[in-house]
Amino acid sequence: MTNTYHLLTYWIGTLVFINSSIIPVQGQNDVESVRRQIDRIIHYDTEIPLHDHHGFIIGIVDGQSTYVLDYPGSDGLPISVHDRFELGGLSQVFTGQYLVELSRQGILNLDDPIYPQAGHLPESWRKLTWRQCLQHVSGLPRVIPGISGEQSIENPYGSIHIEDLKTILPQVAFDTLHFRYSVHNYALIQDGLQLRFEQPVSRQLDSAFNQWNLKETTILTPSKPTAISVGYRKNGLVASPWITDSYQAGLGVVSSLSDLIEYSKWLILHAEDATYSELFYPSQPTDLRGRIAMAGSWYVFMPDRRQWIYSHAGQTGGHRSYIGFVPATRTAVIILAKSPDETNDLGLLILRMINDNWKRNRTDEEKY
């Protein structure tokens, strides 16, 4: 996460000066031209070895044009827009949207406590709200000694139970004033949803995915095998999927490039819809470098006199995911990778390229 935000700070500081090498884009037939431009970015601005990597696939939305570029890895396996990848922390944007939808329907108030009746918790933690967990201002740390990342290198959250986490809460200061990223916030959201609606969060989110017409998006669960793309660890060995009972809302979503492209188009289209302000309006400041706040589960970069940039990434032991979009220019970049380490800031670099180096001819009436 840190590298992405350092890069973004650099981008914000230099965007206004980038006005050379304007590249006209005509449409879907220019995929090879786009590939050449991205190849140059990979060669000069990243450490990805073009001919010796594990493989990734890129989706670009630019108004009514969509580009798909696959980069098969050294295993020689082709990558399809329908291949499923683990999203890791990117799962949180779907959980966030689900909560916002419940709020829009009057079923749930984001400022209500998650555990109003939990007598075994300290009084301060009984005040914990959905929004505070959604935007990482509960006070929970990234790593909790004894339960975080120490269970298994292959699947660090696989054997952590929600009761383990709730037992730790009395030892953690409840702090709603400062942003502090922690996936444990989403484990509490998952627990709260399951207690409130008396059904697994996997069933709740799968129902939401169907309503959103995301047919290739689902939750990995121990009891429901789902075919996903092979992923690789740093040492080149095949990685095991992160299958967990308690962290599905924060880490457990799998999806395809096809679904994420359509999802990105929906995000762009609805970003200025007032009824979705809880999803898109940056309401929670962070301590990240640059003018970065949280809107729902999205990180929003707000440079002076520039368009807002929404972004989120995630990774597991063998996959990496990224979505970034700029509603004002109707652009988005999605990357799904078969390694958690190689693509890193590539999505943000491509988003920068299409917003500062592409010339567009559009009418005001052009819509999705």
- pLDDT tens-place string over residues 178-227: 899 999 999 999 999 999 999 999 999 999 999 999 999 999 988 877 88
Provide DSSP, 181-238: --THHHHHHHHHHHHHHSS-HHHHHHHHHHHTT-TT-EE-BTTB-------B-TTSPB
pTM of the model: 0.89
CA proximity to 138, closest of 151, 150, 152, 127 = 127
pLDDT for position 24:
37
Answer yes or no: is pLDDT of 23 > 50: no
Strand order from edge to edge, sheet including 84-86: 84-86, 253-256, 218-219
pLDDT for position 21:
31
3 state DSSP class of 82 = coil
Q: Which long-range contacts (CB under 8 A, 24 or more apart) does 189-198 make?
A: 189/95, 189/99, 189/114, 189/130, 189/133, 189/134, 189/249, 189/250, 190/95, 190/162, 190/246, 190/247, 190/248, 190/249, 190/250, 191/114, 191/162, 191/166, 191/246, 192/114, 192/115, 192/130, 193/249, 196/108
Answer yes or no: is pLDDT of 17 > 70: no
Q: What is the mean pLDDT of the chain?
A: 87
- pLDDT tens-place string over residues 275-288: 999 999 999 999 88
Q: How confident is the model at residue 111 (pLDDT cuts 50, 70, 90)?
A: very high
pLDDT for position 22:
31
Q: How confident is the model at residue 27 (pLDDT cuts 50, 70, 90)?
A: very low
Domains of the chain, first to last: 2-359 (3.40.710.10)
